[in-house]
C-alpha cells in the first residue's frame, strides 16, 4: 500500500495544483460563496475520514440544543438516494447514510437532513423547519457556503501539518486552509498529555491569534447497547467475540478493547461499507458481534447478535466550556 502511494506521487501533485487553484478562485471571489440568514456552524477536516466529526456534531447538539432549535445538514455519504431528504422515524442508512441516521436516532428533537448541494439543503431547511442553527457536517472543503463559524478537526496521531495530498497522503484540501477555521480541535489525544506535549503540538499547528486551539480524547462507553443491552465490558472477560468495523480508523477502538484484556477477532471493512448477503450470513454465524454505533446503523435489522459501543469526545482541561463560550460569542 505504501509503495502504491509513493508511485502515485505525480498524481498527488496534480491534485494539489487543482486544490490550490480552486481555493485561489474562491479567495478572489471568482467562485462565489453564499451566506444565509440562519446561523451556520461547519464541522470538518482537511483529510479524509477518521477525525471524529460525528461525535463532535453530537457534542455540539448537546451544548446548543438547550437554547437553540438545531438542524443538521450532511451530504449523506454513500446513501442510495438522491437530492434533499429529511430524516423521519422510518429512515434507513441506505436512504440517508449511516452517520445522519445515527444522529436522527439519537436526537429525535433535532431535524437531520442530507443534500449533496449544501446551499439548496440550507434553503430547504430554512423554509421547512426554520431552525436557529444549522450544523454543517463534513463541509469544511465545501466552499460554496460561507459558514458563520468553522470548526476544523485533526487527529492527534495524524495531524494535518504532517500530511500530504491524495493519493500519496490523506489531505483533500490545502494545509493553509486551516486559516479559515475559528476553532482547531485536536481529537483522539491521550488523556495524559503533558503541558509540554500540548505546547509542542500548538507550536506545530501555529494557530492564528484569533483562532482557538482545543484538545480532546475519545471516551468509550463502559456498557453495550443493542443485543446485549447494558452488559458491561468487564463482563465480557473470558468470552470471545467478533469486533466488526467499517470506519476509517478503527485502531483507537481496537486498542481500547485490547487494553481491557478482552479476547476478540477484528473483522475490518472499508469506511461506510454496506454488507453483502454473504457477509451478513457469515456474521450471523458468529456467537456475538460488537461494532461501532455507525456500523450498527447499517447492520440493524439484519443481525440479531450485534451490540455496539458508543463513543464521545472528552475535552482536556476546560475545553468544553471554552468551546461553548467561543461558539456563543461568534
pLDDT value of residue 190: 94
Total length of the chain? 330
pLDDT value of residue 330: 58
Give 303's DSSP letter.
B
Binding-site annotation: residue ranges for ATP: 47-54
161: its cell numbers: 501539518
pLDDT value of residue 314: 95
3-state SS class at 126: helix
Round to whole Å and give the CA distance between 94 and 79.
5
Which residues on neighbouring strands pair with residue 323, listed in sequence order? none
pLDDT value of residue 1: 57
Share of the chain above pLDDT 70, in %: 99
Could you say which architecture CATH assigns to the domain 2-219+315-329? 3-Layer(aba) Sandwich (3.40)
pLDDT value of residue 65: 94
Model-level pTM? Answer: 0.94
Residues with pLDDT less than 70, the chain: 1, 330
pLDDT tens by residue, 121-160: 999 999 999 999 999 999 999 999 999 999 999 999 999 9
pLDDT value of residue 276: 95
Q: Where are the beta strands (DSSP E) in the chain?
A: 39-45, 70-74, 85-86, 111-114, 133-137, 149-155, 183-187, 212-220, 225-226, 241-245, 264-268, 289-292, 306-309, 311-315
Binding-site annotation: residue ranges: 47-54
Could you say which architecture CATH assigns to the domain 222-309? 3-Layer(aba) Sandwich (3.40)
Contact indicator for 85, 104 with CB cutoff of 8 Å:
no
Q: What are phi and psi of 255, to 5 degrees?
A: -65, -40
Question: For the chain, where do the domains classified as CATH 3.40.50.300 start and end?
Answer: 2-219+315-329
Round to whole Å and give the CA distance between 51 and 53.
6
pLDDT value of residue 49: 78
Contact indicator for 244, 291 with CB cutoff of 8 Å:
yes
Amino acid at each position: 500500500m505504501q509503495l502504491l502511494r509513493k508511485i502515485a506521487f505525480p498524481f498527488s501533485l496534480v491534485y494539489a495544483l487543482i486544490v490550490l487553484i480552486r481555493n485561489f478562485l474562491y479567495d478572489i471571489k471568482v467562485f462565489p460563496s453564499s451566506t444565509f440568514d440562519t446561523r451556520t456552524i461547519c464541522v470538518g477536516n482537511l483529510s479524509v475520514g477518521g477525525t471524529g466529526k460525528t461525535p463532535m456534531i453530537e457534542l455540539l447538539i448537546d451544548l446548543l440544543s438547550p437554547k437553540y432549535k438545531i438542524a443538521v445538514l450532511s451530504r449523506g455519504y454513500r446513501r442510495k438516494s438522491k437530492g434533499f431528504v429529511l430524516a423521519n422515524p422510518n429512515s434507513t442508512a441506505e436512504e440517508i447514510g449511516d452517520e445522519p441516521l445515527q444522529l436522527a436516532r439519537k436526537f429525535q428533537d433535532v431535524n437531520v437532513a442530507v443534500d449533496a448541494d449544501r446551499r439548496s439543503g440550507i434553503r430547504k431547511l430554512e423554509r421547512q423547519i426554520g431552525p436557529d442553527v444549522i450544523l454543517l457536517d463534513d463541509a469544511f472543503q465545501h466552499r460554496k457556503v460561507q459558514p458563520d463559524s468553522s470548526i476544523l478537526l485533526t487527529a492527534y496521531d495524524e495531524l494535518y501539518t504532517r500530511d500530504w495530498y491524495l493519493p500519496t497522503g490523506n489531505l483533500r484540501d490545502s494545509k493553509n486552509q486551516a486559516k479559515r477555521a475559528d476553532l482547531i480541535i485536536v481529537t483522539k489525544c491521550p488523556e495524559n498529555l503533558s503541558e509540554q506535549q500540548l505546547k509542542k503540538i500548538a507550536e506545530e499547528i501555529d494557530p492564528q491569534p484569533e483562532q482557538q486551539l482545543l484538545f480532546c480524547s475519545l471516551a468509550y462507553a463502559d456498557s453495550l447497547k443493542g443485543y446485549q443491552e447494558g452488559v458491561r465490558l468487564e463482563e465480557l472477560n473470558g468470552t470471545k467475540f467478533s469486533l466488526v468495523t467499517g470506519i476509517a480508523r478503527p485502531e483507537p477502538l481496537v486498542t481500547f478493547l485490547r487494553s481491557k484484556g478482552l479476547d476478540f477477532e477484528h473483522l475490518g471493512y472499508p469506511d461506510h461499507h454496506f454488507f453483502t448477503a454473504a457477509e451478513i450470513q457469515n456474521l450471523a454465524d458468529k456467537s456475538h458481534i460488537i461494532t461501532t454505533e455507525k456500523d450498527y446503523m447499517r447492520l440493524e435489522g439484519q443481525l440479531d447478535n450485534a451490540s455496539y459501543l458508543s463513543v464521545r469526545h472528552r475535552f482536556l482541561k476546560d475545553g468544553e466550556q471554552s468551546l461553548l463560550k467561543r461558539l456563543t460569542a461568534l
